[in-house]
């Protein structure tokens, strides 16, 4: 016989009282998943289901091979309807994976989505106790008993919807940020792109050619930069910094500082007359110290926007109040030494973080002598030296004497795959950029001898392996397996001797080179660290931003409405950065197209009568959800911005007044779980003691 349809409102939430089956509390259904052999290979699911059946309040207990499958979900829906189930316990995998699946499932059967309790018997039982079948089974039954006890106390909660501002903020104007902004702009959304440097372009603008195809980097990037600047939906805020972000998905309030350029953008036509007149020359950061620029400058000729910037630190007028040659030279009266920073407030619905990477800087006292020997340079420095619009107009010379190097060594994995310095990861681009640059050098100077010191070559992408073979076979580049142990410099010639163990030959060799290029790895950028703090983004152990799920949500962050693109998330090449940027743009577009978003109902709630307004929860919340507001009865009281709260419980654990609690993790619910755990443990302990007493003479 089919029981009446479940009615959430009528259901009591006190614990069931009878030992088995019949109950005065809510009617509970338990669904034990085999997860193929993932769970059932270790846990005796039949026994676990039988144990569950005997628990107070449980009216139905079922097993299923794959509970998340269509069939498994159908069975839950059927069981709910046939048995009048009012609370559901699913014993399967991590709620991180399938809680949304089962919430939707029980909703289809007419239950409130929050009347679901998940029990993780995969990660917490079968996976961690794979060699202890009995104990894993016992633990699964214990966890389900706790889950059932809590399920009896679950309350129905309603999800709410908030409107979404159809405007996006992209932070970082490298190739990833540029692509994401263009895509969103083309979809019709208003976009602000904030770039901290005077020009967009990022690292790709510094590269010469690009692997594996050999396209000129700036030739393919510059049209995109111009396209972005011309898109009427995109506002480019270059030479600007994000200072503060408040709010939540759909409704972020962002404070941006537009740093004073001392050149009025609207008046500057990019003619460069000011720069010609400027008497100050300093190292150009863009050329990594190999070239020079003036105190009023654009970082590179294809800069976007093509607007000059005065470097306050080196400008003579700021130093001594004199000069002003640039003012005289500029017929458009664009120079304004009195310009002040501008503060803008933007309202945006979504944010894409594309703050990129920095390259690893070799240690001062390290083995590679980067800081001591002129002829030891990095891969990015080589890119500038090879670049036709670089400081040497593309002529490769060695820094110590300006001669063309005839013997060049590349050393791989500098700052990557190195446990000692804590960078365990592979930077994914260094093998290929070394191979690419070896090819460019050989095309420039076919007589050059090139050796690459490597651990193993990682040529995993489309066309990479082919390029690797080409460089070995067509250009005779030598690949030496082994990590150099020592570099020494000839004081006269400034040539570098590399001592290394060549592991394929099983011998120690010493070879002399004119130039050594360190293939330095990618590390999280300084700009990313700053933004990470402002946006409360979490990082993976490698320091790059962590995605919400490595496989299923690779561009989302734990913060709703904030997405990742490019090397801010992990080292990657240009095609992968562009692909991820496109994914981030489409993820950001989804809530903006929908114009509204539904907010997670499991949030924390404050009891104003108990709150003392100490503000501890504000400091500790990883999502900046609590705020202090005037209380109804006076005094400042904590209030939780529900759209920001993830119900993590950090505030509840820390509140000295017990004034704040996440719904569905109330003290009553947690104590009930502890009680359920201890009841059985105490019983087993008593049985064991009794048995021991009986055998003792």
Ligand X SMILES: Cc1cc2nc3c(=O)[nH]c(=O)nc-3n(C[C@H](O)[C@H](O)[C@H](O)COP(=O)(O)OP(=O)(O)OC[C@H]3O[C@@H](n4cnc5c(N)ncnc54)[C@H](O)[C@@H]3O)c2cc1C
Which residues of the shown chain bind ligand X in the complex (CB under 6 A)? 171-177, 194-197, 202-204, 207, 210-211, 241-242, 354-357, 359, 379-380, 383, 429, 433, 436, 525, 527-528, 530-531, 566-567, 572-575, 577
What does residue 155 show for φ and ψ, rounded to 5 degrees? -110, 145
Distance of CA 262 to the CA centre of its chain: 35
Of 83 and 612, nearer to ligand SF4 (C-beta) is 612
* Dist. CA 468–CA 623, nearest whole Å: 46
Whole-number minimum distance, CB 87 to ligand X, in Å?
A: 46
Asked whether the beta carbons of 117 and 88 are under 8 A apart, the reply is: yes
Look up residue 535 and give its two tokens: 């946006």
CB of 609 to ligand SF4, least distance (A): 11
- By a kind-dependent CB cut-off of 5 to 8 A, residue 383 interacts, out of ligand X, ligand SF4, none, with ligand X
Binder of residue 385, out of ligand X, ligand SF4, none (CB less than 5 to 8 A by kind): none
Exposed e or buried b per residue across 576-601, where buried means at least 16 C-beta atoms within 10 angstroms of its C-beta: bbbbbbbbbbbbbbebbeeeebebeb
Shortest Cβ contact with ligand SF4: which residue?
A: 326
Q: What is the smallest separation between the CB atom of 221 and ligand X, expressed in angstroms?
A: 9
Cα distances (Å, whole numbers) of residue 292 to 222, 270, 283, 314: 22, 18, 4, 13
Residue 527 near which of ligand SF4, ligand X, none (CB within 5-8 Å, type-dependent):
ligand X
**Nearer CB in complex with ligand SF4: 431/655:** 655
451, 502 Cβ separation under 8 angstroms: no
Our CB check for ligand X shows the closer of 115 and 207 to be: 207
- Residue 573 binds what, of ligand SF4, ligand X, none (CB under 5 to 8 Å, by partner type)? ligand X
**Cα three-residue angle 341-353-649, rounded to 5 degrees:** 105
**Residue 107 vs 657, nearer CB to ligand SF4:** 657
| Contact call for residues 514 and 489 (beta carbons, < 8 A) | no
| Residues engaged in binding ligand SF4 (CB under 6 A) | 277-278, 280, 295-296, 310, 315-317, 323-326, 606, 611-617, 626, 638, 655, 657, 659-660
| Cβ 365 to ligand SF4 shortest distance, Å | 37
Residue whose tokens read 């001392």: 262
Choose among ligand X, ligand SF4, none what residue 472 binds, the Cβ cut-off being 5 to 8 Å by kind. Answer: none
With CB under 5 to 8 Å by kind, the binding choice for 174 among ligand X, ligand SF4, none is ligand X
Distance CA 134, CA 332 (A): 84
Binder of residue 172, out of ligand X, ligand SF4, none (CB less than 5 to 8 A by kind): ligand X
- Residue 323 contact, options ligand X, ligand SF4, none, Cβ 5-8 Å cut-off depending on partner type: ligand SF4
Q: Output the smallest distance, CB 530 to ligand X, in A.
A: 5
Residue 287 to residue 285: CA distance in whole angstroms: 5
To ligand SF4, the closest distance from the beta carbon of 293 in angstroms equals: 11
Which of ligand X, ligand SF4, none has residue 325 at its interface (CB below 5 to 8 Å by kind)? ligand SF4
Which residue's CB is nearer to ligand X, number 59 or number 237?
A: 237
Partner that binds at residue 184, options ligand X, ligand SF4, none, CB closer than 5 to 8 Å by kind: none
Yes or no: say if 59 and 27 are a contact pair by the CB < 8 Å rule.
Answer: yes
- Kindly state the smallest distance separating residue 333's Cβ from ligand X, in Å: 29
Q: Which residue lies nearer to ligand SF4 by CB, 330 or 574?
A: 330
Task: Please say which residue, 577 or 664, places its beta carbon nearer to ligand X.
Answer: 577
Q: What angle do CA 371, 372, 377 make, to 5 degrees?
A: 60
Q: Tell me whether residue 174 or residue 626 sits nearer to ligand X (CB atom).
A: 174
Residue 536: strand, helix, or coil:
coil
CB of 316 to ligand X, least distance (A): 27
Residue 337 phi/psi, 5° resolution?
-70, -10
Residue 194 dihedral angles phi and psi, to the nearest 5°: -105, 120
Give the nearer residue to ligand SF4 in terms of CB position, either 317 or 572: 317
- Here the tokens at position 569 are 């998330």
State how far the Cα of 423 lies from the Cα of 524, in Å rounded to an integer.
11
Closer CB to ligand X, 29 or 177, in the complex: 177
- From ligand X, ligand SF4, none, which one binds at residue 176 (CB under 5 to 8 Å depending on kind)? ligand X
324 binds, among ligand X, ligand SF4, none (CB under 5 to 8 A by kind): ligand SF4
Q: How does DSSP assign 482-520, residue by residue?
A: S-EEEEEE-TTT--EEEEEEETTTTEEEEEEESEEEEEE
- The DSSP secondary-structure symbol of 549 reads B
Report phi then psi at 350, rounded to 5: -140, 160
CA distance 255 to 257: 7
**How far apart (Å, rounded) are the C-alpha atoms in residues 390 and 374?**
19
Q: How far is the CB of 379 from ligand X (least distance, A)?
A: 4
Q: In sequence order, which residues have a C-beta less than 8 Å from that of residue 684 and are 6 or more positions away? A: none
Helix, strand or coil, per DSSP, at residue 596: strand
As measured in angstroms, the least distance from the Cβ of 559 to ligand SF4 is 21
Here the tokens at position 390 are: 């670089």
Which residue's CB is nearer to ligand X, number 484 or number 532?
532
Contact between 326 and 274 under an 8 Å Cβ cutoff? The reply is yes
Task: Work out how close the CB of 122 gets to ligand X at its nearest, in angstroms, rounded to a whole number.
Answer: 35
| Nearer to ligand X among residue 118 and residue 531 (C-beta) | 531
Report, in Å, the least distance between residue 545 CB and ligand X. Answer: 11
Say if residues 644 and 625 touch (Cβ distance below 8 Å).
Answer: yes
From the list ligand SF4, ligand X, none, which binds 143 (C-beta under 5 to 8 Å, kind-based)?
Answer: none
Quick one: 85 or 611, whose CB is closer to ligand SF4? 611
Burial of 505 (0-12, 13-18, 19+ CB in 10 A): exposed
CB of 432 to ligand X, least distance (A): 7
């Amino acid at each position: 016989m089919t029981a009446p349809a479940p009615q959430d409102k009528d259901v009591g939430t006190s614990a069931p009282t009878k030992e088995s089956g019949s109950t005065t509390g809510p009617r509970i259904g338990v669904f034990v998943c085999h997860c193929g052999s993932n769970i059932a290979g270790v846990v005796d699911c039949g026994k676990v289901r039988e144990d569950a059946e005997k628990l107070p309040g449980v009216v139905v207990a079922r097993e299923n091979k794959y509970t998340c499958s269509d069939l498994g979900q159908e069975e839950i829906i059927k069981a709910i309807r046939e048995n009048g189930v009012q609370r559901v316990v699913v014993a399967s995998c991590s709620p991180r994976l399938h809680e949304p699946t089962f919430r939707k499932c029980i909703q289809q059967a007419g239950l409130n989505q929050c009347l679901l309790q998940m029990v993780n018997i995969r990660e917490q039982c079968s996976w961690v106790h794979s060699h202890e079948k009995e104990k894993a089974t016992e633990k699964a039954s214990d966890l389900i008993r706790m889950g059932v006890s809590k399920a009896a106390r679950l309350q129905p909660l309603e999800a709410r919807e908030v409107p979404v501002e159809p405007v996006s903020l992209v932070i970082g104007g490298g190739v990833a940020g540029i692509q994401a902004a263009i895509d969103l702009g083309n979809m019709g959304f208003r976009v602000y792109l904030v770039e901290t440097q005077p020009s967009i372009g990022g690292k790709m603008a510094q590269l010469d050619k690009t692997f594996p195809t050999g396209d000129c980097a700036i030739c393919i990037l510059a049209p995109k930069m111009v396209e972005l600047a011309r898109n009427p939906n995109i506002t480019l805020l270059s030479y600007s910094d994000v200072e503060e972000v408040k709010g939540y998905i759909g409704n972020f309030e962002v404070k941006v500082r537009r740093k004073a350029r001392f050149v009025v953008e609207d008046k500057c036509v990019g003619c460069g007359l000011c720069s010609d007149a400027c008497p100050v020359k300093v190292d150009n950061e863009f050329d990594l110290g190999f070239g020079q620029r003036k105190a009023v400058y654009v970082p590179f000729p294809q800069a976007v926007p093509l607007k000059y910037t005065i470097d306050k630190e080196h400008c003579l007028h700021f130093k001594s109040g004199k000069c002003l040659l640039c003012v005289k030279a500029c017929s458009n009266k664009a120079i304004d030494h009195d310009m002040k920073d501008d503060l803008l407030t933007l309202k945006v619905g979504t944010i894409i973080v594309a703050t990129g990477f920095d390259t690893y800087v070799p240690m001062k006292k390290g083995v590679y002598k980067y800081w001591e020997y002129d002829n030891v340079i990095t891969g990015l420095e080589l890119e500038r030296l090879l670049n036709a619009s670089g400081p040497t107009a593309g002529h490769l010379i060695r820094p110590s004497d300006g001669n063309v190097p005839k013997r060049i060594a590349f050393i791989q994995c500098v700052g990557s795959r190195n446990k000692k310095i804590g960078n365990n990861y592979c930077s994914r681009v260094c093998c290929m950029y070394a191979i690419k640059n070896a090819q460019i050098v050989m095309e420039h100077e076919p007589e050059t001898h090139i050796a690459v010191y490597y651990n193993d070559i990682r040529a995993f992408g489309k066309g990479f392996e082919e390029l690797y073979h080409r460089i070995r076979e067509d250009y005779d580049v030598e690949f030496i397996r082994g990590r150099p142990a020592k570099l020494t410099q000839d004081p006269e010639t400034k040539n570098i001797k590399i001592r290394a163990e060549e592991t394929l030959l099983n011998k120690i060799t010493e070879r002399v080179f004119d130039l050594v290029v360190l293939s330095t790895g990618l590390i999280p950028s300084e700009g990313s660290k700053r933004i990470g703090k402002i946006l409360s983004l979490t990082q993976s152990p490698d320091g790059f931003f962590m995605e919400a799920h490595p496989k299923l949500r690779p561009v989302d962050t734990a913060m709703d409405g904030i997405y990742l693109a490019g090397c801010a998330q992990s080292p990657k090449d240009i095609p992968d950065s562009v692909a991820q940027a496109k994914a981030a743009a489409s993820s950001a577009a989804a809530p903006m197209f929908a114009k509204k978003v539904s907010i997670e109902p499991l949030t924390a709630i404050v009891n104003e009568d108990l709150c003392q307004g100490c503000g501890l929860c504000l400091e500790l919340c990883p999502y900046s959800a609590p705020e202090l507001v005037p209380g109804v009865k006076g005094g400042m009281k904590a209030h939780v911005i529900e759209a920001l709260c993830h119900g993590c419980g950090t505030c509840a654990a820390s509140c000295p007044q017990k004034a704040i609690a996440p719904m569905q993790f109330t003290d009553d619910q947690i104590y009930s779980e502890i009680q359920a755990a201890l009841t059985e443990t105490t019983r087993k302990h008593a049985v064991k003691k009794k048995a021991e007493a009986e055998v003792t003479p």
